[in-house]
Amino acid sequence: MKTGSCELAVVGGGITALTAAWHAALDGCQVMLLAGDDLPGGLVANIGAVDGFPGSAPVAGMAMAERLMQGIVAHGGIIERSVAEGIDAASGGLVLRTATARWRAGKVIAATGARLAALDVPGAAALRDKGVLQCAWCNAGLYRGRRVVVIGAGDAAFQETLHLAGCGAKVTMVIRGEAVRARRSLVEQAAANEAITFLWSTEVTEVIGTDHVTGVALREHGSGETSSLDCDAVFPYIGLVPAGAWLGDLVETGPAGAVITDARLRTRTSGLFAAGAVRQGYGGRLTDAVGEATLAAREACAALAGNP
Ligand SMILES: Cc1cc2nc3c(=O)[nH]c(=O)nc-3n(C[C@H](O)[C@H](O)[C@H](O)COP(=O)(O)OP(=O)(O)OC[C@H]3O[C@@H](n4cnc5c(N)ncnc54)[C@H](O)[C@@H]3O)c2cc1C
């Protein structure tokens, strides 16, 4: 079993973890980033043009992540591509467990984000990757001229709908309520796009198909009326599931499993901070990720310097 130690360990491979590690390394802190084994960038890894980032032209999520990783290494940080399986409190610090190593760290920032929630209706699990998809950027080209359904009412659902429509798909957005949570600019673009139609107060109750998606079953909330819609793919963007289980009982979590911190991003365990999409109260945008990462890095570095 490999062992190692560092002043600060940052756990996660998304924009929060990368930014926190970059900031801490820039401050002169001895940093180890435990970046998981997925594509760098986390939720935006597959997004071809992330938006809403001040002063920058739309950039691919992966490119943003790669630049941050280069910056971490350039400032003396170490990057390990493995997954944290657990964490233990130890005298004078914390110990991270991976399948093959134990890392001792003075402070830890948990920034393991979240994964897209899976659609939990009959047919959805069996047809996963056979038309039930969660990466519009990877798959949009396959659906030019074809009907697809996007489920959700947040920024991600609207962004991905616009991308699919921009690639020539005919998109039906199925929205459970009568209101949306997305940015007004995205909603207005979608409303003005003739390739996009909306089904309000409607729920997908089943994904239909044998080898591949051929349609969805729907229920309208007010009337309870049921119907079906032919389509070739279903893209659910129906929320996020925080990835904080590896923190065990060192942290307190809310009902959805997000980690509870105070305003300085401290968890209930001394020396353990949490930031980004894994944290309860996270704002949801990359600018929020960067803000929380900066605060967590500053707090952890100050604590290491003996300025609690
Ligand atoms: C489809 C979509 C499009 C979006 N587009 C935009 C946009 O254009 N603009 C914008 O502002 N926001 C956008 N967002 C929101 C933005 O992606 C998130 O707010 C932000 O990426 C969250 O970053 P994070 O680092 O906190 O979490 P995540 O991105 O979830 O990253 C977490 C990382 O931690 C890793 N990890 C998980 N568990 C472990 C473990 N145990 N050990 C080690 N590593 C682990 C994961 O593999 C992942 O790499 C979008 C979201 C979605 C879903």
Tens-place pLDDT, residues 156-199 = 999 999 999 999 999 999 999 988 889 999 999 999 999 999 99
CA 261 to centroid of ligand 1, rounded, Å: 19
Which atom number of ligand 1 is nearest to the Cα of residue 50? Answer: 8
- 307 C-alpha to center of ligand 1: Å? 30
Q: How many CB atoms lie within 10 A of CB 171?
A: 29
Residues with CB under 6 Å of ligand 1 are 11-17, 34, 36, 38, 42-44, 47, 50-52, 83-84, 111-114, 116, 156, 159-160, 243, 246, 276-277, 284-286, 289
User: Probe ligand 1: pick from 286, 287, 294, max atoms within 8 Å of CB?
Assistant: 286
| Range list of β-strands (E), the chain | 2-11, 31-34, 78-80, 86-90, 93-97, 101-110, 114-116, 147-151, 170-174, 196-199, 202-209, 213-220, 226-230, 233-236, 240-242, 272-274
Copy the structure tokens of residue 41: 């960038």
- Beta bridge pairs of residue 273: 109, 266
Question: Residue ranges per domain, the chain?
Answer: 2-115+240-304, 118-236
Pocket test for ligand 1, best of 47, 112, 181 (most atoms within 8 A of CB): 112
Q: pLDDT tens, 273-284? A: 999 999 999 999
In CATH, the number for domain 118-236 is 3.50.50.60
Strand (E) positions, 99-141? Answer: 101-110, 114-116
118-236 has the same fold as 2-115+240-304: yes
pTM: 0.95
Amino acid identity of 221?
H
Average pLDDT over residues 38-49: 92
Give distance in angstroms: CA of 17 to centre of ligand 1: 9
Ligand 1 centroid from CA 181, angstroms: 18
Q: Which ligand 1 atom sits nearest the alpha carbon of residue 276?
A: 26
User: Treating both helix axes as pointing N-terminal to C-terminal, what angle do 15-26 and 61-74 enclose, rounded to 10 degrees?
Assistant: 20
Average pLDDT of every residue of the chain: 95
Tell me the CATH number for domain 2-115+240-304.
3.50.50.60
How does residue 12 score in pLDDT terms, banded at 50, 70 and 90?
A: very high
Q: Which of 44, 163, 278 to mutate to test the pocket of ligand 1 (most atoms within 8 A of CB)?
A: 44
Mean pLDDT value of segment 241-249: 97
DSSP class of residue 42 equals G
Query: Is residue 252 scored above 90 in pLDDT?
Result: yes
**Alpha carbon of 73 to ligand 1 centroid (Å):** 21
What pLDDT, on the 0 to 100 scale, is given for residue 147? 98
* Structure confidence at residue 73 (pLDDT): 97
Give the tens place of pLDDT for each residue, 56-94.
778 899 999 999 999 999 999 999 999 999 999 988 899
For residue 176, which amino acid is it?
A: R
Per-residue confidence (pLDDT) for residue 181, from 0 to 100? 87
In ligand 1, which atom is closest to the CA atom of 47? 3
Contacts by 253-257 with C-beta closer than 8 Å and gap 24+?
Answer: 253/280, 254/280, 256/280
